[in-house]
Amino acid sequence: MTARACWNNCRLNPDDNEIRGIDAMEDLLSPLSPELKRIRNLITSLEMCHHKAERWVSLIIEAIATGATSKGPGTRTKDSRHPVEDVWKTCTRLLSAWRNGLTIPDAGEEAGGVRAQDIVAVLGEPTDLRKWQVDRVIDKIESYLEPSTRYVEIVENVEHLAYTSELRRMTMSAVIRDQVDGEPAEISLAAAIDHLEGCHWDFVGNLMLVLHAIGGNLAPSRPYATCGRNIKLSPLRPRMKEASKALRTFWDDAYTGLDANVAIVLPLERITPEKRWLAASLDKTIRLQFGL
């Protein structure tokens, strides 16, 4: 099965007959109206590792109910700011101070619930290697703060980082040993820095794991969770499982869902072919991303 572009945010089984059925619903609605396309694009842009994923699911259900939406990537007000951006700025300022040998005053400052002193203390002495690695972390965080700033990935950009090839090699060879879905796993420090995403539900936890690794602790007490890695650890999983069950009671006539919280889909009211297709698409996306 060749996956349609609308499933780009999911890992698909080529033999998934349910996907074929949902795609067949779409074919019966073709050509899609601009509003249907916009709502389906919201589902395609949904990432369950995002710190606002639950809110986006609610907005998508609202859009399915009304048949219209003004939301989506690039629709945020220019001057608006999310509180997480203050966390990013604090982290870059603290890491820059450590990198430049400045004293971090113990004045009760914190970022995401972690004391400023604790953030920099795990790094240890500022060796050339650690300073280079912290520079990469700062570059990564600054790429969230300023979208026009390009982050150069350590793993993929051999030529761009050739001037520090030995520091890159040492970062690539530093291996963090943790778990993925409860099974022993490994990820290089370089990949961990590259995949440090500010929009992740556990950004500060992931940042601290990376900083601990830079300081020499390559056997963390908690797994590294990013993008689809350890998505099952997300605190949203139980609530999104509940949302998925409710959506299935709406669109799938063969699904009983006796324990489903149908209040979640009450705004959808009367079922239509358009609502059935969109509800099925959202339900399937949630299940595929969370491995439900």
| Spatial separation of the C-alpha atoms in residues 126 and 252, rounded to whole Å | 58
pLDDT of residue 35: 95
pLDDT of residue 111: 81
Condensed to tens digits (0 to 9), the pLDDT of residues 178-204 reads 999 999 999 999 999 999 999 899 999
Helix/strand/coil for 154: coil
Rounded to 5 degrees, φ, ψ at 12 are -105, 145
14: pLDDT strictly greater than 80: no
pLDDT of residue 78: 57
For residues 57-73, give the mean pLDDT: 86
The answer to whether residues 221 and 38 touch, using CB atoms and an 8 Å cutoff, is no
Least confident among 94-98, 128-132, 257-261:
257-261
98: pLDDT strictly greater than 80: yes
* pLDDT band, very low/low/confident/very high, at 79 (cuts 50, 70, 90): low
CA dihedral 102, 103, 109, 114 (to 10 degrees): 90
Tell which wins on pLDDT, 176 or 148. 176
pLDDT of residue 185: 96
* pLDDT band, very low/low/confident/very high, at 205 (cuts 50, 70, 90): very high
The answer to whether residues 227 and 48 touch, using CB atoms and an 8 Å cutoff, is no
* pLDDT band, very low/low/confident/very high, at 80 (cuts 50, 70, 90): low
C-alpha 40, offset from chain centre: 19
Tell which wins on pLDDT, 160 or 157. 157
Q: Where are the alpha helices (DSSP H) in the chain?
A: 17-29, 34-44, 53-66, 83-99, 116-121, 128-145, 165-173, 189-194, 203-214, 237-251, 273-290
* pLDDT band, very low/low/confident/very high, at 69 (cuts 50, 70, 90): confident
Condensed to tens digits (0 to 9), the pLDDT of residues 225-276 reads 988 889 889 999 999 999 999 999 999 998 888 888 989 999 999 999 999 9
